[in-house]
Amino acid sequence: MLIRKAADLTYAEVTPKAVYLNRRKFLQAMGVAGAAAVAGRRLIELAVPGRSALAATKFSDLVKSPFSTSEKQNSFQDVTHYNNFYEFGTDKSDPAKNAQKFDTSNWVVSVEGDVAKPRKFTMDEILKIAPLEERIYRHRCVEAWSIVVPWIGFSFGNLVKLVEPAPKAQFVAFQSYYDPRQMPKGRWAGIEFPYVEGLRMDEAMNPLTLLCLGMYGESLPNQDGAPVRLVIPWKYGFKSIKSLVKIKFQSKMPPTTWNLAAPNEYGFYSNVNPNVDHPRWSQAKERRLGEIFKRNTLMFNGYGDQVAGMYSGMDLKKYY
């Protein structure tokens, strides 16, 4: 898998788009011995010590998703420099600065709980679960800004089927990586770590729920949740947990970080809902990064056709 030790290369240097568009030229230019094939997909991969097996990986042969929006995408610069990743600091610009040395090599995701086949997945194993798709989703943060991002991954349900959950598994609990030595800023973030999140089983199995490995054609930058995160486009952004290390199937509704921090402000469901205001601000409108005028926020962030049925009969003011 690993091709060449390249301690001197930075992430930016190994992924310039003009270079990797021409694979052969790229390999010659970098003096790289070859390209790796994973699950029939062509990957160009460089081994950069201290980075994940996926670092500096350009994905090719991506399947186009019918779930993609045709709305204008935000720039890579926007999406990688305006982040919430409190383990690396609470300012929007902190993760881009402070996550650069985050070591995501030898990453393992443990899948456990009420399942017939608990197991630990390496990143190479996760890559082989299903064909990688490009999904261009609207992403609406609870702070009333939004972005449009070409994520890369596959429906989380593909992983779920491999571990065979028991009927009593009604919920899925998710946990992020946390290492105070690598994430010293986390101490002042004001929330508890590791970051935890949860979904009801039907939400987890909804095809829109994306197990995300990349964006803009390449592996996830550290500040966006490398090497693997969730993206749940009809929920506020904080449900989309980053740098996943544990997935647990269980009968009880799991605790979630923001609900633990402020239960009157953040509920378990956290579906995007312009009709239910946050106690301290309106959710009726949002500002798309890069735009001046606010736009109306859509119920379920515009994904109602695919998800509204899961909440029929539920009072979404009570279950916020």
Tokens of 52: 């994940």
Residues 6 or more apart whose Cβ sits within 8 Å of residue 254: 171, 172, 173, 174, 196, 197, 198, 248
Shortest reach from residue 296's CB to ligand MTE, in Å: 19
Q: Is 115 in the site for ligand MTE (CB under 6 A)?
A: no
Stretch that binds ligand MTE, among 3-11, 37-45, 83-91, 266-274 (CB under 6 A): 83-91
Binding-site member from 243, 250, 270, 297 for ligand MTE (CB under 6 A)? 243
Minimum distance between the CB of residue 195 and ligand MTE, rounded to whole angstroms? 3
Which of 254, 285, 283 has the alpha carbon at shortest distance from 114?
Answer: 254
Tell me if 285 sits within 8 A of 295, measured CB to CB. yes
Which H/E stretch holds residue 200?
Answer: strand 196-200
Q: Is 269 in the site for ligand MTE (CB under 6 A)?
A: no
Interface residue with ligand MTE, options 20, 102, 107, 238 (CB under 6 A): 238
Q: 251: which DSSP letter?
A: S
Number of residues near ligand MTE (by CB under 6 A): 16
Structure tokens at 243: 């740098």
- Contact yes or no for 176/201 (Cβ under 8 A): no
Q: How many CA atoms lie within 13 A of 272 on its CB side?
A: 30
Q: Which stretch binds ligand MTE (CB under 6 A): 29-37, 238-246, 287-295, 298-306?
A: 238-246
Q: Which one, 66 or 190, has the nearer CB to ligand MTE?
A: 190
Residue 83 as a binder of ligand MTE (CB under 6 A): the answer is yes
84 belongs to the binding site for ligand MTE (CB under 6 A): yes
Residues in the site for ligand MTE, rule: CB under 6 A? 83-87, 141, 176, 195, 224-225, 237-238, 240-243
